[in-house]
Amino acid sequence: MTTQEAQVQVTWRAQEALESLNYTAEEMVTRHNEENSEKNGDSHYVLAEQGPIISSYRLNGTTVIWVITASDRKTIAVLLPSDSATYRKLL
- Structural domains in the chain, CATH included, are 7-84 (3.30.2310)
Q: How far apart are CA 21 and CA 37, in angstroms?
A: 26
CA pseudo-torsion sign 68, 71, 76, 79: negative
Under the banding of pLDDT at 50, 70 and 90, the label for residue 91 is: low
pLDDT at 38 over 60: no
Alpha helix ranges (H) inside 3-83: 12-20, 25-38
Q: How far apart are CA 35 and CA 38, in angstroms?
A: 5
Write down the pTM of the prediction. 0.80
Mean pLDDT over the full length of the chain: 82
pLDDT at 68: 92
